Chains A and B, each alone.
Chain A
């Protein structure tokens, strides 16, 4: 099976978390605060898929497996899909479109400011993910899409600033995976 033929499998894998969430919502398997659960879940999977997307290039380099590049756009767009779910959970379910408190949150709460920044960085990347845009932008496309690293940093900081107490386990885990992925890139860039 070629990487192209395996794409339906990537689709299925990327939709599995959403299917699991829908199943839990429908069957009442969420906690007494389901909106919080949905926010947490979609946020976690946004960050996970972002790291998976970012590992395509290092795997390609380290394993010399060029075919894997064909999954990168799909993984990137699924990341954006989960980020959109996460953001709309906040806007629709959590705040119920209340513009006053949303604006206040963005201005006052740094974890929301940095989270929204991450989304705003990903938005043009998602828009310019089509073959047409890749052609039109040429060399500039790659420069633009390197902003995904900044979005990933925003994602980790977003998580770091929302943990309670001194429980750094999750942000430390995501942060160190991101650091490893960036270190591998740095190695190839400086060679």
Chain B
């Protein structure tokens, strides 16, 4: 009897199940993108940018994307948000961010870098080719989504500004505009929102600066026009609407760590074995699904990132 142990068709020739299942969604989305493209062409550039949702050109698919998972629909991603500068309810960011102006936009990069400077969004978009990165997003509150981001690796940007030998950490700051962000009236957190990464985390190929999702520029509620995405950490690490990136010698303070240090550590890696005091992190609810699923160590990106934490006690350094 002949038992074949190798597949007769090379894996690369088999259509990804997700693509197969999502064919109709893809066709629908294509129609949508085409329509948005037309709309984008009709609108003056800045107006389209100011509204978010303008089509992004020349986006290539990244091989670092997560495959085999069903994408959450645009409606989920743009209606269910934590962005406390616009309010603490999940529906507040969409409802209250209409006045926010994501254009023109400048990011100040300074601190321990050889080439500090102010970079306009146009600079960045011209300099770095855009990629689509499909990532899982795991919120510390116990829910998750799968999102097709558009962006570029942060490491490429850091290369340009030439971190000095003393640079060990990267501090990020969100814009603070009380007239456009009604949530800032109440001190829910230490404003402006601040986050940080170790330099090697920031330079990891999976860490991206996102400017869009589903092929279009970010809407205000998702952190327009420029946000961080670190897929192996809880969502709050992926700071939105960044205006400043500072390289530092010491570990930067973060807004959540200042507010509740016993609940929010600096690392905040997705870790099913270390519970948040209020939420078990063992399982999560993927939005759109009824039953919870097991949470994966490092949100499923352990193969790529576990090496960053070799020798570090992740229970203490949570």
Contact = CB atoms under 8 A, between A and B. Distances in A.
Note whether A and B form a binding pair: yes
Contacts of A31: 79-80, 90-91
A19 B143 CA distance: 27
A164 B259 CA distance: 9
A169 B76 contact: no
Contacts of A105: 280
A32 interface: yes
A167 B186 contact: yes
Nearest to B291: A96
Contacts of A101: 280, 282-283
Contact of B189 (A33, A35, A165): A165
Given A32-B75, A32-B288, A33-B285, A165 B277 contact: no
A33 B280 contact: no
Interface string A64-106: 0000000000000000000000000000000010000100110
A165 B287 contact: no
Nearest to B84: A165
A61 interface: no
Interface residues of B, number: 31
Interface string B182-198: 00001111000000000
A104 B281 CA distance: 12
A105 B281 CA distance: 11
Nearest to A165: B188
Nearest to A37: B90
Main secondary structure of the interface of B (DSSP, over half): loop
Residue of B79, B188, B260, B291 ringed by the most chain A CB atoms within 10 A: B188
Given A165-B189, A166-B187, A33 B277 contact: no
A104 B276 CA distance: 13
Contacts of A32: 72, 75-76, 79-80, 90, 145, 287-288
Contact of B278 (A35, A36, A96, A162): A162
Main secondary structure of the interface of A (DSSP, over half): loop
Given A32-B76, A33-B143, A104 B280 contact: yes
B202 to A, nearest CB: 25
Interface string A98-141: 00010011001111000000000000000000000000000000
B88 interface: yes
Nearest to B139: A33
Interface in B83-100: 84, 88, 90-91
A162 B142 CA distance: 14
Residue of A32, A36, A166 ringed by the most chain B CB atoms within 10 A: A32
Contacts of A33: 80, 90, 143, 285, 287
A169 B75 CA distance: 29
A7 to B, nearest CB: 35
B177 interface: no
Interface in B283-302: 283, 285, 287-288, 290-292
Contacts of B278: 109, 111, 161-162
B181 to A, nearest CB: 15
Interface in A129-186: 161-162, 164-167, 169
B275 interface: yes
A74 to B, nearest CB: 31
A167 B76 contact: no
Contacts of B88: 164-165, 167
Contacts of A109: 277-279
Contacts of A169: 186
Contacts of A110: 277
Contact of B188 (A36, A111, A161, A167): A167
A164 B235 CA distance: 14
A124 to B, nearest CB: 29
Contacts of B285: 33, 35
Contacts of A108: 275, 277, 280
Interface of A: 31-33, 35-36, 96, 101, 104-105, 108-111, 161-162, 164-167, 169
Closest 5 A/B residue pairs (Cβ):
A32-B80, A32-B76, A165-B188, A167-B188, A32-B287
22 contacts: A31-B80, A31-B90, A31-B91, A32-B72, A32-B76, A35-B285, A96-B290, A101-B282, A104-B280, A109-B279, A111-B278, A164-B88, A164-B188, A165-B88, A165-B188, A165-B189, A165-B259, A166-B187, A166-B189, A166-B259, A167-B186, A169-B186
